[in-house]
Chain A
């Protein structure tokens, strides 16, 4: 993929471990770029196992949630597995309020996610 601006992607065996560059995922241009970089992982790079590590994320808007939902749908369509990890209590509450904790597979740590992928 072209050098990403919003994501850090590390390959570990067959698993792509993704971290977010932005601590606050709010800006609409950043969200658009972040979404495209995520989509490229599965649509261009054909990644099938993805860990999204949120340890750097302090805040995200509903627009960012919308992009993650679109990514989840695309991943499901291409047969890719995706697990979210290292979510702070505040961010986890955002997922819980919107019932997205039931849509996404969430693990406490990256190691927990790597163990089941």
Chain B
């Protein structure tokens, strides 16, 4: 029996259009590669959520769907680590100023849940000072909190 070599680690940079229809193929290709690398279903779900929320936020809130602006993505994946940086061309924002969507008094307010989901599903998540670049990492060695925190 011949041994099949494991899929290679991958590093990529892409520039996406600021259109909410433009990025699903990119997400699908990342998820398929992670699956080949042996990532299990629950981790793929978590990464899918982080990709969906981060890229749609960059397009919708960062670039305001301006066709002249792009979303720049750097991504590194291996069998134990997923790392991504998503940068838009917007003015940026202060994530600490986003109201806590999980506050019992704000449960009926639609919107603002993407940050809480990314934070819960990723091992690490941080914005740059300007607030237009989000870096996230999920490491199989680290457990995410799973707790409701939007800050």
**CB<8 Å pairs between A and B, sample of 12:** A27-B21, A28-B20, A61-B53, A61-B114, A66-B110, A69-B108, A94-B49, A94-B117, A96-B148, A98-B102, A99-B101, A103-B107
Closest chain A residue, CB of each to CB of B150: A98
Flag whether B63 is at the interface (Cβ < 8 A). no
Flag whether B136 is at the interface (Cβ < 8 A). no
Q: For A1, what are the chain B residues with a Cβ–Cβ distance below 8 Å?
A: none
- Measured between alpha carbons, how far is A31 from B54 in the docked complex, in Å? 18
Task: Say whether A99 contacts B110, CB under 8 Å.
Answer: no
Known: A62-B114, A72-B108, A90-B42. A99 touches B148 (CB 8 A): yes
- Measured between alpha carbons, how far is A94 from B114 in the docked complex, in Å? 10
The 4 tightest CB contacts between A and B, nearest first, are A66-B110, A62-B113, A62-B114, A99-B102
Tell me the A residues contacting B by CB distance below 8 Å: 26-28, 59, 61-63, 65-67, 69-70, 72-73, 90, 93-94, 96-100, 102-103
Q: For A102, what are the chain B residues with a Cβ–Cβ distance below 8 Å?
A: 104, 107
- Measured between alpha carbons, how far is A90 from B117 in the docked complex, in Å? 12
Tell me the B residues contacting A by CB distance below 8 Å: 20-21, 24, 41-42, 45, 48-49, 52-53, 56, 101-102, 104, 107-114, 116-117, 120-121, 146-148
Q: For A100, what are the chain B residues with a Cβ–Cβ distance below 8 Å?
A: 107
Closest chain A residue, CB of each to CB of B116: A98
A114 CB → nearest B CB, Å: 26
- Measured between alpha carbons, how far is A62 from B24 in the docked complex, in Å? 16
Where chain A touches its partner, the secondary structure class is helix
Task: Say whether A97 contacts B107, CB under 8 Å.
Answer: no
- Measured between alpha carbons, how far is A82 from B114 in the docked complex, in Å? 24
Q: For B121, what are the chain A residues with a Cβ–Cβ distance below 8 Å?
A: 97
Known: A61-B52, A90-B45, A99-B148. A66 touches B113 (CB 8 A): yes
B5 CB → nearest A CB, Å: 31
Known: A61-B56, A99-B148. A67 touches B107 (CB 8 A): no
Task: Say whether A65 contacts B113, CB under 8 Å.
Answer: yes
